[in-house]
């Protein structure tokens, strides 16, 4: 009888066929495309006609990532192609933003004031809060299309009709074709607000790569890094995006902020931070389902138990880092909320967190948020079905890894 914990994540048939052809070619000594750093950088320079990458702080992350993708990534042919174009595009984005910033030095004068930043473990309600708060007309969020194609900066008057939206929507639609059922786990779209990990990606210290590929050593390395240069790049990206379209404040979101609260608040000292909470066992079972499904588009060897074990351990390190750093930070800059409260009444949660930080919650904002909920009900693209047991996760392991968190935040779990 097959052990369900050793089952590979299933793939679409055409992905399996493409990868089979790739393996046959690889057996003949042919391997394409080339993931070596120097080749990627040379191609980005040739493609853009630009040479200035800014400082060199991005290079170590890129080098470590490419080495591990080739050594341990277990990339299929399709995965190798996806990794190549992902890395290449991020290099091109970096070159173009640096070039635009050089030609428009006034962008450096843009102020990022009191951003509202949502963090917490993945699958703890961060996304719905992010999407709802993004409906507030006084708030600016980074849309997926403008993060993917940031040149030129978006304009307020054409923000909803920009020609880049359609092309990014078509590209993002590939996720569902590569990983059928992915949208039932995590909605995607060009107009939806995008996580900060996709901004970090052009600095090459980003959890985005860990979501897509099996790169545990790279993720462990990234978790230990001083993130000063990464958050500086993040601020440059925000300055760029708001240079032609700004609002009272940004709303931003990504779980990985939790591990780097000190660097985050050093860059944005007046930030308002929302920390969402859920039992790690349930959150990471859900997230393991997401990552194993996504990685199956890029590898023929995704083992769900291996994915889940790493995610569980990684989440414990992230939480520990966040809890330690928070002890030396200003308590009033944080607002804690449970996943259950968000699911039960997200509008009331937003009203309460706005009051906590002294933000005005207008009637127009509430009306837009409620309309968004009506248009985007839970399970819009199907029900996400998973269990902790199918990923080899259990309460005993949860207690061993997360006991300080479970004790300190019991009221939110």
Residue 226 in any domain: the answer is yes
pLDDT, one tens digit per residue, over 169-197 is 998 887 777 777 777 788 889 999 999 99
Residue 290 in any domain: the answer is yes
- 251: part of which helix (H) or strand (E)? strand 249-253
Span 75-101, average pLDDT: 96
Dmax (CA) of the chain: 66
Tokens of 294: 């996504």
Residue 2 in any domain: the answer is no
Least confident of 2-16, 94-108, 195-209, 226-240: 2-16
pLDDT band at 2 (very low <50, low <70, confident <90, very high): very low
At residue 359, the pLDDT reads 98
Residue 373 in any domain: the answer is yes
Least confident of 12-16, 80-84, 339-343, 372-376: 12-16
At residue 406, the pLDDT reads 98
**What is the rounded distance in angstroms from the CA atom of residue 95 to the CA atom of residue 233?**
12
Span 353-375, average pLDDT: 98
pLDDT, one tens digit per residue, over 272-328 is 999 999 999 999 999 999 999 999 989 989 999 999 999 999 999 999 999 999 999
Tell me: pLDDT of 245 over 50: yes
At residue 26, the pLDDT reads 63
Tell me: pLDDT of 6 over 70: no
**What is the rounded distance in angstroms from the CA atom of residue 288 to the CA atom of residue 282?**
10
Residue 345 in any domain: the answer is yes
Q: Is 279 helix (H, G, I), strand (E, B) or coil?
A: coil
At residue 298, the pLDDT reads 93
Residue 122 in any domain: the answer is yes
Q: Which residue has the tokens 């993945």?
A: 122
Tokens of 51: 């040479």
DSSP tag of 410: G
pLDDT band at 385 (very low <50, low <70, confident <90, very high): confident
Q: Which residue has the tokens 């259990």?
A: 394
Tokens of 138: 């006084």
pLDDT, one tens digit per residue, over 110-123 is 999 999 999 999 99
Residue 4 in any domain: the answer is no
At residue 175, the pLDDT reads 76
- Cβ count within 10 A of residue 160: 10
Q: What's phi and psi for 199, nearest 5 deg? A: -75, -45
- Domain holding 167, by residue range, is 32-412
Q: What's phi and psi for 54, nearest 5 deg? A: 80, -145
DSSP codes of every residue in 159-171? TTT-THHHHHHHH
pTM over 0.85: yes
Is residue 323 a contact partner of residue 315, using CB atoms and an 8 Å limit?
no
Comparing 111 with 381, the larger pLDDT belongs to 111
Residue 18 in any domain: the answer is no
Give the distance from CA 337 to its chain's centroid. 20
The total domain count for the chain is 1
Tell me: pLDDT of 1 over 90: no
At residue 187, the pLDDT reads 83
Q: What is the CATH number of the domain that holds 88?
A: 3.40.50.300
At residue 41, the pLDDT reads 98
Distances (CA, A) of 356 to 129, 138, 269, 351, 359: 15, 17, 17, 9, 8
pLDDT band at 8 (very low <50, low <70, confident <90, very high): low
| First-residue to last-residue Cα distance in the chain | 37
At residue 384, the pLDDT reads 87
pLDDT band at 21 (very low <50, low <70, confident <90, very high): low
């Amino acid at each position: 009888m097959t052990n369900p914990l050793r089952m590979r994540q299933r793939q679409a048939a055409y992905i399996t066929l493409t990868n089979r052809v790739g393996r046959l070619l690889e057996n003949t000594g042919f391997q394409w495309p080339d993931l070596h750093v120097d080749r990627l950088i040379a191609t980005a320079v040739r493609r853009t006609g630009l040479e200035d990458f800014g400082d060199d702080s991005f290079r170590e992350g890129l080098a470590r990532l490419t080495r591990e993708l080739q050594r341990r990534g277990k990339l299929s042919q399709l995965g190798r192609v996806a990794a190549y174009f992902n890395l290449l595009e991020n290099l091109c984005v970096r070159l173009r933003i640096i070039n635009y910033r050089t030609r428009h030095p006034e962008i450096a004068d843009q102020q990022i004031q009191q951003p509202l930043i949502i963090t917490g473990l993945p699958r703890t309600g961060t996304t719905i809060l992010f999407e709802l708060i993004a409906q507030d007309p006084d708030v600016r969020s980074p849309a997926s299309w403008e993060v993917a194609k940031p040149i030129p900066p978006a304009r307020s008057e054409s923000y909803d009709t920009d020609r880049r939206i359609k092309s990014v929507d078509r590209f993002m639609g590939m996720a569902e074709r590569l990983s059928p059922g992915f949208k039932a786990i995590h909605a995607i779209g060009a107009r939806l607000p995008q996580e900060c990990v996709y901004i970090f990606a052009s600095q090459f210290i980003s959890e985005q790569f860990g979501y897509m590929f099996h790169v545990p050593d790279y993720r462990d390395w990234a978790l230990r890094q001083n993130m000063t240069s990464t958050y500086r790049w993040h601020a440059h990206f925000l300055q760029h995006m708001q240079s032609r379209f700004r609002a009272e404040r940004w709303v931003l979101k990504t779980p990985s902020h939790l591990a780097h609260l000190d660097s985050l608040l050093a860059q944005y000292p007046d930030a308002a931070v929302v920390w969402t909470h859920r039992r790690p066992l349930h959150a990471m079972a859900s997230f393991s389902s997401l990552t194993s499904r996504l990685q199956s588009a890029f590898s023929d060897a995704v083992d769900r138990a291996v994915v889940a074990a790493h995610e569980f351990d990684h989440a414990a390190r992230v939480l520990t880092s966040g809890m330690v750093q928070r002890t030396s930070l200003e308590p009033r800059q944080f607002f804690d909320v449970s996943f259950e409260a968000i699911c039960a009444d997200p509008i009331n949660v937003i009203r309460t967190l706005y009051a906590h930080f002294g933000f005005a919650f207008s009637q127009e904002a509430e009306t837009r948020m409620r309309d968004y909920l009506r248009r985007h009900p839970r399970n819009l693209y199907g029900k996400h079905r998973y269990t902790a047991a199918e990923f080899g996760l259990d309460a005993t392991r949860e207690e061993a890894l997360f006991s300080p968190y479970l004790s300190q935040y019991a009221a939110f779990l």
